[in-house]
Structure formats: structure tokens, C-alpha cells
Structure 1
């Protein structure tokens, strides 16, 4: 995995998304659409560089935050700015769409 995409867990989620702009991909290894979304997330991370924190969270290993946020379907991506959820994206999204959404908050 590209080092630009951070792995978050229940313990690090709040600290990592508390300030700045973050895109967090909630996924699981058995989820087909999640496996399609993974490389797109890495492309987004490469393109946005340091301006957006791009992260993934395995919902099988970290159920606390997913339950707390009411995430029922995966992949679900959250756009978070300074700890506030700005957008919730459910299902596969192409890079261009993710870049356009992030562009609104950069």
C-alpha cells in the first residue's frame, strides 16, 4: 500500500481527523467494491499530497467508530473537515468525482 494512505483504527480516528481536511475510506477485505475503490483512494492520495489526509479504516477490525458513525454499507467514504463530517459517499466513486468533492473544501 502507498505510504500516503494512512491506516486508521478506533483509537486514532478522532485525533487523525480532528483538524484539516480528511478523506476516510471505510472498507473490508472481503468487499468487492471496496477492492475496486482502494486503488482510486491511492491515486487521490498521490494527487492531493499533503493538502488532504487520506486514510482507510478496516471495519472488520474497527467496529467502534463505524457503529458510532452509523456506517451500514461499504465502501463508505467520509469527507471530514476539522472533525466535522461534511460529506458521506456510499459505494464506488471514480477519482474525478472524489477530487471534485474534495476541491469544494480545499
Structure 2
């Protein structure tokens, strides 16, 4: 996943990201995360109450993943996604690994 910051509003960042393939399961303990698919298709896998539910988002469709909910985006092919989240939000949430991006390129 590659993200670019396109602007900010009241401590939130507006990010444009390219999703491809399967990301990782992660949680944002204190932040809600809004996904809006600009083009492509993203399956958001969400774990709640011991069950996995998949929300399929196509062009123009969005979803808020509430704080504390474990989730994993999956995109077959490349999808362009707008994210709206607090500026402090790490892309990998509670997981720090080689996919973690601490400084996002600004456009």
C-alpha cells in the first residue's frame, strides 16, 4: 500500500492510497478509519465477536471502521482509495513491521 497526504482538516489527514493484494490484520485502538474507493474494488475483512465479515466496496462506496475493530483490506488488482483519519494514525495500527509507514509523502 502506498499513501500520499493530500491535505488535512482539524487534525485529520486526507490520504490517497493505492491498495494491491492483501494487507495485514491490524487494529487502530483510538482512531476510526474511513475508506472511500475511488476506483477498483476493496474487500474489507472485519473481525467482530469472533466472526469475520467481509464488506465489498466498489467505485464510490465507503465504510467507517470504528476504533478497536480488527480489519484487513484486500484488493485484487490495484484500487485507489481515499482515507480520512487522524494524522497520528499508522497504516498498520497496532502492528509495527516492514509495511509500517511512519512518514507519508505529501503532495
Query: Aligning the two structures, in what range does the TM-score lie when normalised by the shorter sequence?
Result: under 0.3
The structure with the largest strand share of the pair is: 2
TM-score scaled by structure 2?
Answer: 0.26
The structure with the largest helix share of the pair is: 1
Q: Looking at CA atoms only, which structure, 1 or 2, has the larger radius of gyration?
A: 2
